[in-house]
Amino acid sequence: MITTICLNPCFDKTVEVDSLEVGQVNRTREARVDLGGKGINVAVVASRLGLDAQCIGIMGENGAEELSRLMDAEGLNHEFLTIPGRVRTNMKICSGDGKGVTELNEPGEPLDAETLKRFTALAEEKTKDSDMVVLTGSLPPGCPEGTYRDLMLALKGKKCILDSEGRELELGAREARPFLIKPNLREMERTLGMELRTMRSIRDAALIFLRLGVEHAVVSMGAMGAMYVSTRETLFSPALRVTTKSTVGAGDAMIGGMLLGYQREGSMSKAFRYGMAAGAASVMTAGTQLIIPSDFERLLDQVRIQEV
């Protein structure tokens, strides 16, 4: 069993425009609403790839029924505490002129100490049979510094994957020592306060976290590919050449793919290849639709891995 944690779920509303004109009236060509939140995304990808996955978290009462319905439609096991307020909506504006995706993300409903205490108890209960626990995504207002660290410390003995940045990544790595961290390049740069412009600098940045006790690190670099670092080896994989429709959720898909790879191969370095295929399959889908398993399987043999 794999459990993902999503403390700030959302509805992802994707709209398409011919060209986004700031300060002007923009006519949309197409719009859709999908379930969202990074923890949910990872669980959906893992489930679509055949893994036994569940998602737990916290969400506002207003919209909870609809979000639960969308998770049910995916066949995803889930359990969320509900609080006063509403499920946030994140807007993704896809511009057809090649300018990419503009995101407008809401902060979510504030959480208090009592709610986090209740959720920690839920997490301890629901992860009893879980081999891996994924902690990812933005934290809503009210969460104290080190929220992910505290959750990982409460889940003693679990292999935890942390996908975060800044103080959450720093404190989580330093004090809870997760099994894997997966920041993207910009998140790694912001966390360390330095520019990383060479393969060596990216590897050395990852090694900072491994010296703190993290076992594995994957740094995704968008169109440049991704790097896997452990104390034994450093691997690089160039991005696959696919038709990109949306990069939203690619990092979440990458984690889902690595979870499958780790289950099949028993090795995180070998699982890296699965993550690359899943991330590439994700960008082939429009908006926030994540991954089509047949795309993933087709791309898996195309991934190339080289030692650095």
pLDDT, one tens digit per residue, over 53-92 is 999 999 999 999 999 999 999 999 999 999 999 999 999 8
Q: What percent of the chain has pLDDT over 70?
A: 99
C-alpha–C-alpha distance, residues 285 and 271, integer Å: 22
Q: How confident is the model at residue 244 (pLDDT cuts 50, 70, 90)?
A: confident
* 239-269 burial code (b ≥16 CB/10 A, e <16): bbeeeeebebbbbbbbbbbbbbbbbeeeebb
Cross-sheet strand order for the sheet of 159-163: 77-86, 53-62, 2-6, 132-136, 159-163, 180-181, 216-220, 226-229, 234-237, 306-307
CATH class for the domain made up of 2-20+35-307? alpha beta
Q: What is the crossing angle of helices 147-154 and 166-176, to 10°?
A: 30
263-266: long-range pairs with CB below 8 Å, 24+: 263/51
pLDDT, one tens digit per residue, over 250-264 is 999 999 999 999 999
Cross-sheet strand order for the sheet of 100-104: 28-36, 10-17, 88-95, 100-104
Reply yes or no on whether the pLDDT at 247 is more than 80: no
At 133 the pLDDT is 98
pLDDT, one tens digit per residue, over 132-162 is 999 999 999 999 999 999 999 999 989 999 9
Q: What spatial distance separates the first Cα and last Cα of the chain, rounded to whole Å? A: 33
* 3-state SS class at 268: helix
Reply yes or no on whether the pLDDT at 288 is more than 80: no
